Amino acid sequence: MESETQPKGTPRRGFLSWVSSMTMFGGLAAGYGTLAAIAGRFLFPSNHPDNWQFVATLENLVVGQSLSYRTPGGARIVVARQATGDSLENFVALSSVCPHLGCAVHWEANNNRFFCPCHNGIFDSGGKATGGPPAAANQSLKKYPLKIENGLLYISLPAESIA
Ligand code: FES
């Protein structure tokens, strides 16, 4: 008889209230956690570029040849294979924009140099200016890190050249 005097559903209401509260706290924690993670990446950007982008298979980049690569952000890069062998030192990736007035620089395998035809700008195989106006102004080509994995060539790009 006593059990009939207690209102039915009280334990169930308590449980549902508890589940509702926990769900709300979980949602708030997930929301603020995501916001904190985004803010942290914005306020403390990584100094270690890890934006590796596929460039080419090693077999498709013949010794002495180069290819033009354009980043998703529009930066123009020339990637050259300068010697035989699949080791990393035989490849180089440099900005193909001349630091003098912005003409396109290209790889000349027979002269082992990069060349800008606009004002005869000359750069060595590593991108250091050695002749013409870029050398006079000590303006070299920007170099990009490369890596090789399983016969594939990748380039590391700064975040601003991807966006
Ligand atoms: S733009 Fe390249 S040397 Fe002038």
pLDDT digits (tens, 9 = 90+) for 146-159: 999 999 999 998 87
| 52-161: CATH superfamily | Rieske [2Fe-2S] iron-sulphur domain (2.102.10.10)
Task: Please name the residues in contact with 76: beta carbons below 8 A apart, sequence gap of 6 or more.
Answer: 68, 69, 70, 95, 96, 97, 104
Query: For ligand 1, what atom is nearest to the CA of residue 133?
Result: 3
Domain ranges within the chain, ordered by starting residue = 2-43, 52-161
**Tokens at 49, concatenated:** 């570029």
pTM (2 decimals)? 0.69
- The rounded Å distance from CA 89 to ligand 1 centre is 27
pLDDT digits (tens, 9 = 90+) for 62-89: 999 999 999 888 999 999 999 999 999 9
Task: Please name the residues in contact with 158: beta carbons below 8 A apart, sequence gap of 6 or more.
Answer: 49, 51
Q: Which residues line ligand 1 (CB under 6 A)?
A: 98, 100-101, 103, 116, 118-119, 121, 132-134
Dihedral Cα 92, 96, 97, 100, nearest 10 deg: 70
Residue nearest to atom 1 of ligand 1 (CA): 101
